[in-house]
């Protein structure tokens, strides 16, 4: 496995409770996945899709149902998240359409082999150095016609608008039943423990990694998503 910064936040306990603890975000995910399906309806029916930071596999499950001939290569450095993903795919009889790789994008062998690549809710967890490794790695894996779709928490944390919108985010998190102390600590946690980039910075890194003209197609509070082609 290649070296990226050590990330302890997706261990066994988090992996087991991940889907349940993300319930409050499901309506946002549904909308995001819906739009991703529209974007990917342009690629060939038998496309091969790369999922970097697949976690518990939500994106594969959504796409596999909508596109019955798609196959997937899914990568994640967390053994625990991958294990939950494997169980879910097995129950849905999807394992024979998926290759699961415990590792990083550099562990994917097929260069220029993919029609689409997803990196959903991963990049705000990674350092700037790892973000660049992931994006350039995905660039190498995509066919020239391929689509890259990324979603992440992205906002200018120094702007006055952040102070406002974070309150809306906190109201949403409150619905998950999270402890009030944790909710109050969210702005600090985001500034100190996540690697949140402003939208202009996200786009700059995509362009400097070779992607042409990234287009933001989605925003729900702090979560934004882009698509880009080579």
Distances (CA, A) of 138 to 1, 54, 75, 147, 211: 16, 14, 11, 10, 10
x/- contact string, 130-169, with ligand SAM (CB under 6 A)?
x---x-----------------------------------
Give the interface segment with ligand SAM, choosing from 116-124, 160-168, 189-197, 214-222 (CB under 6 A). Answer: 116-124
Smallest distance from ligand SAM to CB 172, Å: 16
Instruction: Report the distance separating Cα 166 and Cα 157, nearest Å.
Output: 10
Q: With CB under 6 A, what is the number of residues at the site for ligand SAM?
A: 22
Cα of first residue to Cα of last residue in the chain, in angstroms, is 27
Least CB distance to ligand SAM at residue 126 (A) = 5
- Judged by beta carbon, residue 90 or residue 145, the one nearer ligand SAM is 90
Question: Quick check: 122 binds ligand SAM (CB under 6 A)?
Answer: yes
Q: Which stretch binds ligand SAM (CB under 6 A): 36-44, 74-82, 173-181, 219-227?
A: 74-82
Residues whose CB is less than 8 angstroms from the CB of residue 179 and which lie 6 or more positions away in sequence, other chains included = none
- Per DSSP (E only), the strands in 4-77 are 48-52, 71-76
- Residue closest to 39 by CA, chosen among 107, 93, 116: 116
Residues 6+ apart with CB under 8 A from 68: none
Q: Is 60 in the site for ligand SAM (CB under 6 A)?
A: no
Write down the least CB distance from residue 57 to ligand SAM, Å.
8
* Strand pairing class (98-102; 212-220): unpaired
Tell me whether strands 223-229 and 142-153 are parallel, antiparallel or unpaired. antiparallel
Instruction: Give, as one character, the DSSP assignment of residue 91.
Output: H
d(CA 217, CA 56): 24
Q: Give the interface segment with ligand SAM, choosing from 64-72, 120-128, 210-218, 221-229 (CB under 6 A).
A: 120-128
126 makes contact with ligand SAM (CB under 6 A) = yes
CB of 99 closer than 8 Å to CB of 72: yes
Stretch in the footprint of ligand SAM (CB under 6 A) among 35-43, 49-57, 188-196, 209-217: 49-57
Phi-psi region of 112 (alpha: psi -120 to 50; beta: other; left: phi over 0): left
Q: Which residue is nearest to ligand SAM (CB)?
A: 55
Mask of contacts with ligand SAM, 183-222, x by CB under 6 A? ----------------------------------------
- Residues in touch with ligand SAM (CB under 6 A): 4, 7, 10, 52-55, 58-59, 75-78, 81, 104, 120-122, 125-126, 130, 134
């Amino acid at each position: 496995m290649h070296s990226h910064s050590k990330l302890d936040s997706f261990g066994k306990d988090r992996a087991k409770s991940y889907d349940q603890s993300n319930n409050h975000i499901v309506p946002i995910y549904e909308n995001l996945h819906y739009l991703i399906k529209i974007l990917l309806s342009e690629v060939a029916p038998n496309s091969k899709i790369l999922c970097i930071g697949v976690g518990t596999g939500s994106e594969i499950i959504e796409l596999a149902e909508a596109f019955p001939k798609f196959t997937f290569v899914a990568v994640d450095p967390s053994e625990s998240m991958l294990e939950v993903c494997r169980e879910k795919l097995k129950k849905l009889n999807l394992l024979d359409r998926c290759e699961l790789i415990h590792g990083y994008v550099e562990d994917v062998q097929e260069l220029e082999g993919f029609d689409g690549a997803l990196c959903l809710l991963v990049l705000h967890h990674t350092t700037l150095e790892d973000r660049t490794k992931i994006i350039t790695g995905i660039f190498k894996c995509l066919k020239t016609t391929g689509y890259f779709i990324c979603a992440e928490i992205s906002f200018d944390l120094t702007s006055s608008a952040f102070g406002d919108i974070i309150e809306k985010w906190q109201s949403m998190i409150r619905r998950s039943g999270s402890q009030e102390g944790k909710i109050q600590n969210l702005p600090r946690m985001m500034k100190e423990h996540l690697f949140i980039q402003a939208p202009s910075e996200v786009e700059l890194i995509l362009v400097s990694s070779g992607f042409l003209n990234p287009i933001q197609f989605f925003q729900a509070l702090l979560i934004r998503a882009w698509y880009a082609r080579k």
